[in-house]
Amino acid sequence: MAVVFEKTKGLTDAPLHYCPGCTHGIVHRLVAEVMEELGVLDKAVGVAPVGCAVFNYDYFSCDMVQAPHGRAQAVATGIKRAVPENVVFSYQGDGDLAAIGTAETVHAATRGENITVIFINNAIYGMTGGQMAPTSLPNQITQTTPYGRDTNYAGYPIRVCEMLSTLDGVALAQRVSVDTPKNVMNAKKAIKKAFENQIAGKGYSIVEVLSTCPTNWGLTPTEALTWLRDNMIPYYPLGVYKDKEDVK
């Protein structure tokens, strides 16, 4: 008998505080496993966002910096420019990355900042209790769109990977999901590539992970996975939106 699956050394022993069934934990594991497999935990520095994932500085076993809301990629830029040997990643939600931090995101991307960005898109603000996010779907009911997101009034969701894929500085922009074991495995491959790109000095890599928020969606964890599949994936198709390796 051999242990074929156990908790990665990329994570500390701290129990995760997330709600039952929240897929943040899956993505934390993937990021940590990738760093362990690439042997970079000793020189990795992560940047925690403001939002549900703020406490991830307690979970990742590498050095961590907690950034002001939306500023994670500016902070990551500062770390990377200061010590280029560091492997630097930011881990951000949709409010952090695509609302208050849009400028920091777009400009880190267009500078081709040699960092890895993990973007959790769960179409809602989790920590503050379920308000409309920049990625909330049309007609989606949230605390602040109680009659559904009216696009005539509240505008449309942002498709981050599509938007960033137009920028020359982006090495990789890929959207994945963690709703099934197969998709989890694909997500890990994408995250690994995003880190490998940085190690190879290829520039800005972002992996957008479609995730669930059962609590604020008002669904059970299992129902939330189904809702993600039925509603999010059609609006946010999975796939590679930019891969510099494809550009000859």
SS3 label, residue 172: strand
Q: 198 with 114: CB under 8 angstroms?
A: yes
Angle at 162 between CA 53 and CA 188, to 5 degrees: 50
Residue 218, interface with other proteins (CB under 8 A)? no
Q: Which is nearer to other proteins, 9 or 150 (CB)?
A: 9
- Binding status of residue 96 toward other proteins by CB under 8 A: no
Q: For residue 165, which of 93, 83, 106 has the smallest C-alpha distance? A: 106
Cα–Cα distance between 66 and 60 in angstroms, integer? 12
**Distance between first and last Cα of the chain:** 47
Interface with other proteins includes 204 (CB under 8 A)?
A: no
Q: Minimal distance in Å, beta carbon 239 to other proteins?
A: 21
Using CB under 8 A as the binding rule, whether residue 36 contacts other proteins is answered as: no
Q: Considering only 66-74, 118-126, 144-152, 239-247, which stretch makes contact with other proteins by CB under 8 A?
A: 66-74
> Least Å distance between CB 173 and other proteins?
19
Instruction: With H, G, I as helix, E, B as strand and everything else as coil, classify residue 29.
Output: helix
Q: How far apart are CA 177 and CA 228, in angstroms?
A: 9
Per residue, the 3-state secondary structure of 107-124, as one string, reads HHHHCCCCCEEEEEECCC
Query: Residue 41 CB, nearest distance to other proteins (Å)?
Result: 8
208 in Cβ contact with 165 (< 8 Å):
no
Shorter beta-carbon distance to other proteins: residue 2 or 247: 2
Least Å distance, CB 68 to other proteins, is 5
Q: How far is the CB of 6 from other proteins (least distance, A)?
A: 5
**Interface segment toward other proteins; rule CB under 8 A; list 84-92, 123-131, 140-148, 152-160:** 84-92
Among residues 31, 49, 53, 71, which is the contact residue for other proteins, using CB under 8 A?
Answer: 71
List CB contacts of 191: < 8 A, sequence separation 6 or more.
30, 31, 34, 116, 118, 176, 207
241 binds other proteins (CB under 8 A): no
18 DSSP 8-state letter? S
Among 170, 172, 207, 225, binds other proteins (CB under 8 A): 225
Where do contacts with other proteins occur on this chain (CB under 8 A)? 1-8, 11-12, 15-16, 18-26, 28-29, 41-45, 47-48, 54, 57-58, 60-68, 71, 74-83, 85-87, 103-104, 106-107, 180-181, 184-185, 214, 220-222, 225
